[in-house]
Amino acid sequence: MLEDESKQRKKILLLTVTAGEGHNSAMKTLKAKFEAEGNKVKVVDVFRDHGSAFKYFIISKAFLTFCRYFMPLFNLGFKMCRTKNPNKRDRSGVHAFLKKETASFLKDIIDYQPDVIFATHIYGAIMALDLKRTYDLPYKVIFIFTDCVVYPYAECAIYADKVITPYDALKNNYLKLGYSEDQILPYGIPVKEKFYQKPIMTKAVLRKQLGLDESLFTVMLMLGGGGYGNMVRIFKEVIKVKKPIQILVICGKDAKTKRQIDKYIARHILLHKVVNYGFVGNIEDLMAASDLLLGKCGGLSSTEAICRCLPLMVTTKLLIQEEANYQFLLKHNAVLQLRKGDKVAIKIEECIAKPSILNEVAKNLASLRNCDILENIYMVVNELGTVEYGTKFDYLLAYPKSRIKKDVRKMLKTKHKN
């Protein structure tokens, strides 16, 4: 390797899947970081760019609806799809499920010639690795776990060069699947760079700049923009708090919920100051201005709360991966527990009356905080260096998709036998 090879500009390909916004959010964070360092970056959405319109609709739209109305079924399916025998990874049905997208994706690779492929969803990692193993392609693959859970089919990504995981305490979960110590990098979950920067203003000054009351205890209500979690019901619970507070409602892209809360505010005289937002681009500032976050426990949203040392109270039923995040934080006393039968308003009143409750949680959140995530990930990219394609793989451009599917299937069958 040349002395300055690690500093050369690289071609980085980011693979994401629109199934909620978590994977896309992580991808956008990485894209901004890599481009800021002078690298060339291309983003590919697996099903939008290479799947059928029907499959893209199912993954990007119907998925959220299913999670909202049939959460127990989703959680059951999640568990059932996690293999009991990781050694059968090459026989997993997920390879057949992705065969169309994998065959179509090969042209992107040959045309773009990436040095590194990042996958923020397991499907993207499997596609990149199936093609790499079939045709001995030279790019490196990095897969990022964006939750504290072992995903279905995660054993299929053990061929990745590196895997970024949330915390070192979870390492044994990955080792059991066949990952090696050298592969696992417990750097954390990447979120927008501004979250790692300490606010330059005090909470009171920041609130004033945002047009908020400077002295009121401030509760932020955020359940994501997917429409599940019944934000209207939780909002009605929060306004039962007996002392005046300030409530910041973040509806995201859930326009229906925003309209419902706007109508409620207009028709009722409330004790509290309520600011009802739609989609906002300054979540990091609103978190820094808040005293308590009410919501779910997604991998990215919980990491954002950790970066801001903002105590989180989980107020809704959770998807299985969110439950894993919640249990991890609970084990470290870094989340507020809302037990069955507890009233949200009463718990908030307890936090106001006893500041030590929130101070203790914030202290534990600080112990989990890692502000070097993006720098560490970028360092790994530099260490992997650049690769050469030349014209060696141009012949693959002439392959029909049927041939590519056949080659991948043959590779998997051969590898499994060996």
**193-368 shares the fold of 5-188+372-417:** yes
Tell me how far CA of residue 284 lies from CA of 10, 36, 303, in angstroms: 30, 20, 11
Q: How much is the pLDDT for 417?
A: 62
Please state the φ and ψ torsions of residue 284, each to the nearest 5 degrees.
-60, -35
Classify 194 as helix, strand or coil: helix
Instruction: Name the CA dihedral angle for 49, 55, 59, 62, rounded to a multiple of 10 degrees.
Output: 130
Torsion (CA) 75, 79, 81, 86 in degrees, nearest 10: 150
- What is the model's pLDDT at position 59? 87
What would the pLDDT profile of 53-105 be if each residue is shown by its tens digit? 999 998 888 877 888 788 899 899 999 888 778 888 999 999 999 999 999 99
pLDDT of residue 82: 83
Domain 193-368 belongs to what topology?
Rossmann fold (3.40.50)
Cβ partners under 8 Å of residue 238, min gap 6 = 219, 221, 247, 294, 344, 345, 348
Decide which of 3.40.50.10490, 3.40.50.2000, 3.30.470.20, 3.40.630.40 is the CATH code for 5-188+372-417. 3.40.50.2000
Domain boundaries, the chain: 5-188+372-417, 193-368
Task: Look at residue 226 in the predicted model and tell me its pLDDT.
Answer: 58
CA nearest neighbour of 401 among 103, 137, 107, 110: 103
Nearest to 372 by CA among 200, 186, 115: 186
Three-state secondary structure of 344-366: HHHHHHHHHHCHHHHHHHHHHHH
Structure tokens given for 169: 């305490």
Structure tokens at 230: 């019944």
Sites in the chain below the pLDDT cut of 70: 1-7, 225-229, 416-418
pLDDT at residue 332, as a whole number? 95
